[in-house]
Homo-oligomer: A and B are copies of this chain.
Amino acid sequence: MNQDYIVPDNWSIIEEGFDAERVKSSESLFSIGNGAMGQRANFEESYSGHTFQGSYIAGIYYPDKTKVGWWKNGYPEYFAKVLNAPNWIGIDITINGEALDLNTCEQVNYFRRELNMKEGWYNRSFEAVLQNGTAIAVNVTRFLSLEEDELGVIKYDVTPINRAAKITFSPYVDAGVTNEDTNWEEKFWQPVAVKHSDNAAFVTARTFKTHFDVATYMHNSLQQAGNNVDIAPVDVKVTDDKVQFTYSVDAAQGQATSIVKLGGYTVSLNHTADKLVEAAQNVIDAAQAKGYDALLAEQKEAWAKIWEMADITIDGDVKAQQGIRFNIFQLNQTYLGKDARLNIGPKGFTGEKYGGSTYWDTEAYCIPFYMATKDQQVARNLLTYRYEHLEKAIENAVKLGFTNGAALYPMVTMNGEECHNEWEITFEEIHRNGAIAFAVYNYYRFTGDYSYIPEKGLEVLIGIARFWQQRATFSSHKNKYMILGVTGPNEYENNISNNFYTNYIAKWCIDYTIEQIAKVKEEYNEDYSRIMAKVNLNDAELQQWKKVADNMYFPYSEEHGVYLQQDGFLDKELVPVSELDRSQRPINQKWSWDRILRSPYIKQADVLQGFYFFEDDFNKEQLEKHFDFYEPLTVHESSLSPCVHSIQAATLGRMEQAYMFYLRTSRLDLDDYNKEVEEGLHITSMAGTWMSIVEGFGGMRVKNDTLHFEPRIPEQWQGYSFKINFRNQILKVSINATETKFTLEGDKQLTVFVNGKEVRVEPDALVTV
């Protein structure tokens, strides 16, 4: 943890001073993205210190050959990896013949990074003295256009401070890149063609195996004293995967020279392969026509629109404010919901780790955020993503011995195929199926759009219900159905039996599917006939489902009055985390796996995750009992843990604890709680941060098509506000210690409940409670 690294600011992420040790961490924290592409905050100029180079294109992946010790039946052959994409940002610089490299400069007198979240740009400025004695000031602004998602823009200014200087700018595009996490040190990109003309260059490369074609392009222009300089490259270097131009200018002492580099990708997901260069040229032409200032203005405007809907304000606590905005900003950089083929990777465009793009994180954590802050089509796209993968989920289940259309969605996927390979997770962390069903329910609950279920959702639900029925084992010994051999949300337990969360959501899935079948039969008979013809479901099978759901086993301790996380949990030595020596933590970095497994320590909400999803099935006293039993044993070593605990602590009125968990989730990366931010950001948990404010402090729930609030406020805050897109009307909620204010953008009166009391909110009128 490092609380003094990022300068607190309401709207920006700011780093001051140059520290080579922080370069990789800052590369993560200052990452930018526009939903279609993104990149770590790598320097444009060459840098010989430690760095983790990363540029990423949404939907472009590489199926790396799986690496295992001992192969097990059912393992996937390939592991789809986030692919480090060709570099378009690079600009080598020399000053009076010496390469600019912050790692070898004589002095760095000033260094500042700013990620302006309000306006969507990243700036880096510094003053350095090179070994040849030339002092320069550099100011670089970079952004990825929200308007034109194939376009990135860099404006790189250099000013000699202490003498005149000959400056060379050598911008390049380079497909000769590799992944840090390649399993077999294979290359992922095959060069296809290079092309350049005037100040533009194009490198086309194709991914091996997946055969995605990508044209990486650049266009360069120079300015001095604010005026365009008409200049041609003095040198052009071309290899089969790289083009580099060199421009040379003379700058007087104190005179700024700028290179504006446009760049980015056109990809075969969106264009035919033979038109990629043409498409890129079109992007360049359009951008050139607008010019840098107009592009930046557009960018500010586009981000203003996002904030208009998604912003959460917090008064009186800059760090909390900065945290939530950073989270909302990164979520929007990662996924904008325009394309149902895409999803939300746990590291977004900020690192390689974890591979794949889609985990249960999407359904369990991200959907509420996107439902409430975007058009409902965005959430529907996320659901559709799974519908499109249903066939592959059925194939995946077949590999594991299931039949008759049972579907097991992959633990990690890019294209619907499983690409994770540890048996205890891939084969056993089956609760993911539950979250996918729950999201269907949650979408309808929030949006009121039932149409998704007869159109697509019911087929998904049936595949999932079939899986659970087949996966359950009848224990004649206990005369109950059990689910043996699973890993629950708490991944610090493997191959356990009767994980409460898994059993509970399995039963729920079956019950909910049976209900929806009945409803669709009743209300959407045409869809019903179509689906039944397809899935071949009969009454005998339904009875079998019901038998499993009605007789599901849940381990329970009479002594403690709690559901047990799994069979045998009470046999562990239940020593609370608070009694663990600090030197032993995080246990996942200090302990061998067997030791973690036999310990009582919980990585993230597990029983409590069930209480979060199915809150209405339990009373507050039960929640309190379970929270008090499990939270003290929880090490929160998953980024997904603090948010659920924050919400539940708030629900229980434990505001200090809720606030502590809130800071931990919202500033997880900014304050580097887990000492790993250099690997990339924790994107999916950022949606949990949003929930911890809206559902935790705001106490927002949807019940019977109506919004309910139980507003609470941490004592550190003077007030906070958020907006909710509830069924196509925008409700703004502002809360302080004494009152809650509502304003509504829309055209219909909205009834909400505040602490159980009905409140009518009229369009464009302020209501104070």
Contacts and interface: CB of A to CB of B under 8 A. Distances in A.
A120 B484 CA distance: 52
A579 to B, nearest CB: 15
Interface in A540-561: 559
A618 interface: no
A572 interface: yes
Contacts of A474: 573
B73 A571 contact: no
Nearest to A423: B593
A745 interface: no
Interface stretch (A153-161, A475-483, A685-693): A475-483
A66 B68 CA distance: 10
A573 B399 CA distance: 21
Interface centre among A68, A482, A572 (most CB of B within 10 A): A572
A495 interface: yes
Interface residues of A, number: 48
A568 B485 contact: no
A766 interface: no
Contacts of A496: 495
A522 interface: no
Interface stretch (A594-602, A608-616, A726-734): A594-602
A594 B428 contact: yes
A494 interface: yes
**Copy count, this protein chain:** 2
A399 B66 CA distance: 28
B66 A571 contact: no
A271 to B, nearest CB: 36
A421 interface: yes
A595 B400 contact: yes
Q: What secondary structure prevails in chain A residues at the interface with B?
A: loop
A74 interface: yes
Which interface residue of A69, A74, A474, A567 has the most chain B CB atoms within 10 A? A69
A394 to B, nearest CB: 15
A590 interface: yes
Contact of A593 (B73, B573, B588): B73
A210 interface: no
A597 to B, nearest CB: 5
Contacts of A401: 591-592, 595
Given A399-B592, A423-B593, A593-B423, A473 B572 contact: yes
27 contacts: A66-B69, A67-B68, A69-B422, A72-B592, A73-B588, A73-B590, A399-B592, A400-B594, A401-B595, A423-B592, A423-B594, A473-B571, A473-B572, A473-B573, A474-B573, A475-B570, A477-B559, A477-B571, A478-B571, A482-B571, A484-B572, A485-B594, A485-B597, A485-B598, A494-B495, A497-B568, A567-B571
Given A67-B68, A73-B593, A473-B571, 15 more contacts: A67-B67, A69-B421, A73-B590, A400-B595, A401-B591, A401-B595, A423-B593, A427-B594, A473-B598, A475-B572, A476-B573, A482-B571, A484-B568, A484-B572, A485-B598
Interface of A: 66-70, 72-74, 399-401, 421-424, 427-428, 473-478, 482, 484-485, 494-497, 559, 567-568, 570-574, 588-595, 597-598
Q: Which 9 A-B pairs have the closest CB atoms?
A: A74-B592, A427-B594, A485-B598, A477-B570, A484-B598, A475-B571, A423-B593, A72-B593, A400-B592
